[in-house]
C-alpha cells in the first residue's frame, strides 16, 4: 500500500509549533508558525494580541 497523506499535507509539513503567552492573563499555549503574522485570541480571557510579540523563548 502506498504511503498516503491528507490533502494539503505538503504545504503544512514545514510548520512548527511556537509557544505564546497572553499578555493579559498569562496563559501559555502553542500556535503554528504561520499564525505569528496574525492576531490571536486567548481562549481563557478572550484578549486579542499580536502573537509575534508574545512568543515564549
For 16-53, what is each residue's pLDDT tens digit? 899 999 999 999 999 988 888 889 999 999 999 999 88
pTM: 0.70
* 5 falls within a domain: no
Is residue 52 within 8 Å of 36, Cβ to Cβ?
Answer: yes
If one counts the domains in the chain, the total is 1
Q: What is the pLDDT of residue 2?
A: 61
Q: Domain range for residue 39?
A: 15-54
Q: What is d(CA 36, CA 18) in angstroms, rounded to the nearest whole number?
A: 8
* 1 falls within a domain: no
* 45 falls within a domain: yes
pLDDT of 11 over the 90 cut: no
Amino acid at each position: 500500500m502506498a504511503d498516503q497523506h491528507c490533502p494539503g499535507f505538503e504545504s503544512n509539513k514545514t510548520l512548527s509549533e511556537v509557544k505564546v503567552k497572553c499578555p493579559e492573563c498569562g496563559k501559555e499555549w502553542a500556535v503554528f508558525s504561520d499564525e505569528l503574522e496574525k492576531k490571536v485570541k486567548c481562549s481563557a480571557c478572550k484578549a486579542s494580541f499580536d502573537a509575534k510579540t508574545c512568543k515564549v523563548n
